[in-house]
Amino acid sequence: MIDVEVVYAAVDRQCLLTVAVPPGTTVRAAVLASGMGREFPELDLAGCPVGIFGKQIAEPETRVLQAGDRIEMYRPLLADPKEIRRQRAAKAAEAKRLSQQ
């Protein structure tokens, strides 16, 4: 057996679970076996995006784990960061224009 960590951070709390899995276990299989669904029943464990040490995994159904891997489960963004920056820049430009009048 190898030990891996599975982590998830909701808006109001976070959870880190250590899971012992057999060698050859995939990322998605470890997520499903982690028990994270009991902690966060609203999570779609079979479809949520995941990564290992901050790097998103494109195919978690085929990526095999190594001992000590830290699987991170990602929640959807509430807003696009690029759009938020655009809005902030536009607001600052408007404020500057109004202050120069």
Per-residue pLDDT tens over the stretch 38-73: 989 888 888 889 999 989 998 999 999 999 999 999
Q: What pLDDT is attached to residue 61?
A: 92
- Classify residue 23 as left (phi > 0), alpha (psi -120 to 50) or beta: beta
Number of folded domains in the chain? 1
The whole domain housing 86 covers 2-99
pLDDT over 80 (residue 101) = no
CATH number of the domain enclosing 46:
3.10.20.30
Share of the chain above pLDDT 70, in %: 98
Span 80-89, pLDDT tens digits: 778 888 889 9
**pLDDT score, position 93:** 87
